[in-house]
Structure 1
């Protein structure tokens, strides 16, 4: 087709996709083209703005590495990550809600036994975390794989430091025979997402802050249950209602309880004040035809 213009180019592009054998891909690409073209028409996109957008995406990709995922940050801060999470994680009442994955998960994090300190060498006030993993009927889920990761008191994850020889502030362990778990870490603190790149420039242009409320990340897997990716947020944090990535859910907010120096829940003696966090997770059984 020749001599295309602003009135007929969209249909011409869609016609090129008509023979696509993958029905789902055709559905996605049809909608994507329609929305992109409608967006350009609606805002009357200039060539200068279009080139600026291309450059923005190019630089976003160039920032990405094995330690930093700028595209996840972009998706997070536009609310797209949380929207996709919500669409794909509808659960029965009583199940622990899901939230965004974030850009700092690491495959193959160190394995720990229950009660170990996953934050050895990490800056922060001591915190003892404990709880249970159960199903929607209240039955314990034993031997669930539980990954946890968090930032330190300065707001940085281990992968943001260049010279660490081993992972810190993250680990994998398994729930006990009654679904119980307990480990030692440090108190979660609010922190800004990385804002020295394209996402930071975007947030500044939009007069938005980059801060996330204090939280712990959890990824929980167990046979027969849907995988749970979630956070536990610290109550009272000033950014709970303005999380830069829109991830807060009221059901995921918990108290970090302050204690004077003394005997910790695991029986050890702690010579400085410490915190405890109690939180129970409820998993949703895998539904027929749905992957875990």
Structure 2
């Protein structure tokens, strides 16, 4: 291993991982080394630039805590999250499309009954959300578990407020035996992702805006079906064509109708993909 140079070091590093017991880990590490080294050669990476990159990654990690995941934000803004989602959610036509998870999901959200108000005092215009969870053949999926969460009218999620005593604008409920669900919440509004960390600095340095179009998060679980993680976006939002995390899909854009009394109404049905059955030997 002596006297390695820029032309021979890549194969030497790959050889170091040749004995990796897990074949998938070996494949990933080998490809990672190849592409990282190729990137450094392609851009003629300087030592000062590499140190700046290390500082950026260090700052990204330091910005993470139990309420914020800056690495997810970085992955989202580089399009890597959505690429991974797209590769791993190649569903049949007619199924609801998946999109990014986002950095502000919270385990242990409060439980609600159908018809309850999940906003919990969050600021925003009142909105009724309802629909049906179905299978591909149109039959209802009974009692599906639904997680919902969203930002408030100020563009903040509850976890971004230090003073809140309990969660807001998020909750867990079950569809009924006919797959129907309905709950009260607030109108989704466009908002900027947090820009007070290294990801925000990256967006500024590259002249990219931090805005996400208005949306409501859903995560839906039902036995016999693939978990669905998705959003429902508001039609005519100005950022639908330039979502900072590349998460918009046309099939996920819906009309949030304004009622005469000033409240809003969202009617959206979800179609789940059945879990693939493995053949018994």
Structure 1 length as normaliser, TM-score?
A: 0.95
In structure 2, what is the equivalent of residue 266 of structure 1?
none
Deviations 1:142-180 (A, max 9, x none): 100000000000000000000111000000000011000
- In structure 1, stretches of 5+ residues that fail to align are 262-272
Task: For residue 75 of structure 1, report the CA deviation from its aligned partner.
Answer: 0.1
RMSD: 0.8
In structure 1, what is the equivalent of residue 118 of structure 2?
118
- In structure 2, stretches of 5+ residues that fail to align are none
Mapping of 1:1-292 within 5 angstroms?
A: 1-261=1-261, 273-289=262-278
Cα distance between partner residues in 2 of 1:69 and 1:226: 25
Cα distance between partner residues in 2 of 1:117 and 1:255: 21
Task: For residue 69 of structure 1, report the CA deviation from its aligned partner.
Answer: 0.4
Cα distance between partner residues in 1 of 2:277 and 2:77: 33
Cα distance between partner residues in 1 of 2:205 and 2:134: 44
Structure 2 length as normaliser, TM-score?
A: 0.98
User: Given that residues 146 and 220 in structure 2 are in contact (C-alpha distance below 8 angstroms), is that contact kept between their aligned partners in structure 1?
Assistant: yes
Q: Per the alignment, in what secondary structure is the counterpart of residue 220 of structure 2? A: strand
Task: For residue 108 of structure 1, report the CA deviation from its aligned partner.
Answer: 1.2
Cα distance between partner residues in 1 of 2:30 and 2:15: 9
Cα distance between partner residues in 2 of 1:160 and 1:113: 26
Cα distance between partner residues in 2 of 1:200 and 1:289: 44
Task: For residue 288 of structure 1, report the CA deviation from its aligned partner.
Answer: 2.3
Cα distance between partner residues in 1 of 2:211 and 2:169: 19
Cα distance between partner residues in 2 of 1:104 and 1:20: 35
Task: For residue 54 of structure 1, report the CA deviation from its aligned partner.
Answer: 0.2
User: Given that residues 120 and 167 in structure 2 are in contact (C-alpha distance below 8 angstroms), is that contact kept between their aligned partners in structure 1?
Assistant: no
Deviations 1:78-134 (A, max 9, x none): 000000000000000000000000000011110000000000211000000000000
Q: Per the alignment, in what secondary structure is the counterpart of residue 74 of structure 2? A: helix
Q: Per the alignment, in what secondary structure is the counterpart of residue 194 of structure 1? A: coil
Cα distance between partner residues in 2 of 1:20 and 1:60: 29
Cα distance between partner residues in 1 of 2:215 and 2:119: 14
Cα distance between partner residues in 2 of 1:144 and 1:152: 25
Deviations 1:208-245 (A, max 9, x none): 00000000000000000000000000000000000000
Task: For residue 289 of structure 1, report the CA deviation from its aligned partner.
Answer: 4.2
Q: Per the alignment, in what secondary structure is the counterpart of residue 59 of structure 1? A: helix
Cα distance between partner residues in 1 of 2:272 and 2:77: 27
In the TM superposition, structure 1's runs of 4+ consecutive aligned residues that sit over 6 Å from their partners are: none
Deviations 1:186-222 (A, max 9, x none): 0000000001100000000110000000000000000
Task: For residue 260 of structure 1, report the CA deviation from its aligned partner.
Answer: 1.7
